[in-house]
């Protein structure tokens, strides 16, 4: 390389570094706005980590602008085209770090690697802390190691290629365990390797609903202290247990079902071809008002619960109308089903009414049941304390778990109960 080429290369690198630094500042501001829109905040230490860690070094093959967008770069897919490795959306990473409350000197385990999130954690634990980033995929581990070395975090972060089901016992106990893949269950190793005063942050699926739960150990069980909306690639290895996708109309309209709930595709597909019934609740919601606990309420009180989804092709058939592009809560029986919907009640579309669309011989009954659940949520739980979630050992007896929904997992029993909000008279489930 001659002198002129060297000068040109150094100038290009300087320009790229300056652009990346600016994009990191913009990304931190985007996270602040995202959280402010729903009334929450992010600690300054986390924002400073976002401003510091060069995210683009962990997204090879992706442009600077894409690397720093508040989006999810997919880094790898399986043979069916399902994303199995990604760099999570920055707002979600910041949210989970906020949930974790990581302080300098901690020992942290991350299950599900990629490198970038581990580097953010390294900034939070500081030079006296340690980070173990674990993944089952050798390609992901290699990419993480390369990014961590290039970014200068390989002295703080240890990358382990292993099955996350079993944790990393050789580095335990951990003050924090952060799981960055969709988890169908809580394996015993995670609880055993967590410090007595530790926190487990995990996107656990409950009847197909995925939330980032904060669990703390208490008297032989895990107790949830808070949770947030979340969405991650599926866990691989011994713990892999993906949701079933029950086809109602080819691949275009699909009912996603979890936790071994019974469902028959053929009669529900026939029901979809029939007329639609609708029912409206009178329960209103503002355009920016969060209502994610409604889905959890429906999953708790309904005998069956899943998510109805559709592709663009599926929506073009006119057979289903989904308010949210990624899907809506649904319930079903043997040959009929109903799903949640909303309709605008003001011209400027700032206020909406909850209702239900339903198909099949029992459509009217299922739609009315969903409306009754909507009204009970509005009356007894809306803007309340939310559900109380615990994870108990598989051996826990019925009399030792809270009254409410009990979801049987492979390793555990997950309970969801709804404390009565003070001043309200509705019945506690």
Mean pLDDT, contiguous 10-residue spans, the chain (429 residues): 42 73 93 85 96 93 84 54 60 93 98 94 97 95 96 96 96 97 93 97 91 95 91 63 85 90 94 96 87 91 94 94 92 97 93 97 97 96 91 92 89 90 43
Among candidate residues 108, 141, 119, 117, the one with its CA nearest the CA of residue 236: 141
418 found inside a domain: no
Domain interval for residue 330:
244-381
215 found inside a domain: yes
What is the model's pLDDT at position 79? Answer: 60
Among candidate residues 2, 39, 12, 17, the one with its CA nearest the CA of residue 383: 39
193 found inside a domain: yes
Instruction: Clarify whether residues 232 and 316 are in a common domain.
Output: no
Among candidate residues 222, 284, 14, 226, the one with its CA nearest the CA of residue 101: 226
Q: What is the distance between the alpha carbons of residues 225 and 101, in angstroms, rounded to a whole number?
A: 13
Instruction: Clarify whether residues 170 and 278 are in a common domain.
Output: no
Instruction: Clarify whether residues 79 and 139 are in a common domain.
Output: yes
Q: What is the DSSP string of 261-292?
A: ----HHHHHHHHTS-EEEEEEEEEEETT---H
Instruction: Clarify whether residues 115 and 222 are in a common domain.
Output: yes
Select from 239, 257, 277 the last residue of a domain: 239
40 found inside a domain: no
Select from 239, 261, 291 the last residue of a domain: 239
What is the model's pLDDT at position 224? Answer: 96
34 found inside a domain: no
Q: What is the CATH number of the domain that holds 93?
A: 3.40.50.150
What is the model's pLDDT at position 425? Answer: 42
Residue-wise pLDDT for 129-150, tens only, equals 999 999 999 999 999 999 999 9
Select from 183, 215, 239 the last residue of a domain: 239
Residue-wise pLDDT for 406-427, tens only, equals 999 999 999 999 986 554 443 3
Instruction: Clarify whether residues 288 and 203 are in a common domain.
Output: no
Task: Tell me which of 63, 85, 86, 88 is the catalytic residue.
Answer: 88
Instruction: Clarify whether residues 233 and 257 are in a common domain.
Output: no
What is the model's pLDDT at position 413? Answer: 95
Instruction: Clarify whether residues 206 and 250 are in a common domain.
Output: no
What is the model's pLDDT at position 400? Answer: 87
CA 117, chain centre distance (Å): 15
Instruction: Clarify whether residues 112 and 255 are in a common domain.
Output: no
Looking at the 3D structure of the chain, how many domains does it have?
2
Instruction: Clarify whether residues 195 and 253 are in a common domain.
Output: no
- Stated pTM of the model: 0.85
Instruction: Clarify whether residues 282 and 205 are in a common domain.
Output: no
What is the model's pLDDT at position 72? Answer: 57
Instruction: Clarify whether residues 229 and 248 are in a common domain.
Output: no
Instruction: Clarify whether residues 139 and 248 are in a common domain.
Output: no
Known catalytic residue: 88? yes
Give the three-state DSSP class for 356: strand
340 found inside a domain: yes
What is the model's pLDDT at position 14? Answer: 66
263 found inside a domain: yes
390 found inside a domain: no
Provide, rounded to the nearest whole percent, the portion of the chain with pLDDT above 70. 87
């Amino acid at each position: 390389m001659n002198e002129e080429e060297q000068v040109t290369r150094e100038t290009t690198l300087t320009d790229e570094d300056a652009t990346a630094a600016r994009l990191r500042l913009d990304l931190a501001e985007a996270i602040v706005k995202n959280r402010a829109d729903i009334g929450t905040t992010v600690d300054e230490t986390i924002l400073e980590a976002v401003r510091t860690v060069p995210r683009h070094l962990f997204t090879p093959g992706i442009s600077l602008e894409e690397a720093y967008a508040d989006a999810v770069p997919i880094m790898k897919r399986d043979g069916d085209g399902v994303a199995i490795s990604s760099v999570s959306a920055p707002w979600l990473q910041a949210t989970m770090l906020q949930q974790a409350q990581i302080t300098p000197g901690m020992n942290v385990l991350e299950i599900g690697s990629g490198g970038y999130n581990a580097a953010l954690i390294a900034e939070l634990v500081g030079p006296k802390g340690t980070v173990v980033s674990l993944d089952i995929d050798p390609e992901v581990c290699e990419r993480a190691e390369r990014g961590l070395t290039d970014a200068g975090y390989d002295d703080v972060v240890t990358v382990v290629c292993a099955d996350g089901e079993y944790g990393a016992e050789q580095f335990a106990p951990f003050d924090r365990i952060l799981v960055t893949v969709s988890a169908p269950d809580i394996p015993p190793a995670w609880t055993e390797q967590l410090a007595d005063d530790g926190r487990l942050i995990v996107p656990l699926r409950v009847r197909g609903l995925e939330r980032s739960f904060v669990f703390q150990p208490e008297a032989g069980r895990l107790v949830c202290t808070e949770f947030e909306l979340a969405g991650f690639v599926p866990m691989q290895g011994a713990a892999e247990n993906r949701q079933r996708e029950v086809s109602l109309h080819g691949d275009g309209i699909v009912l996603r079902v979890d936790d071994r709930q019974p469902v028959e595709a053929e009669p529900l597909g026939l029901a979809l071809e029939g007329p639609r019934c609708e029912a409206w609740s009178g329960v209103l919601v503002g355009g920016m008002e969060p209502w994610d606990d409604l889905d959890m309420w429906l999953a708790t009180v309904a005998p069956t619960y899943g998510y109805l989804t559709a592709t663009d092709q599926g929506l073009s058939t006119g057979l289903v109308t989904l308010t949210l592009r990624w899907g809506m809560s649904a319930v079903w029986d043997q040959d009929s089903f109903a799903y949640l919907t909303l309709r605008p009640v003001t011209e400027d579309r700032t206020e909406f009414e909850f209702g239900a669309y339903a198909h099949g011989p029992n459509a009217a009954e299922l739609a009315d049941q969903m409306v009754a659940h909507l009204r009970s949520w509005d009356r007894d739980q809306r803007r309340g304390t939310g559900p109380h979630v615990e994870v108990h050992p598989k051996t826990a007896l019925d009399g030792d778990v809270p009254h409410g929904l009990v979801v049987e997992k492979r390793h555990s029993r997950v309970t969801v109960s709804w404390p009565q909000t003070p001043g309200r008279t509705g019945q506690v489930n």
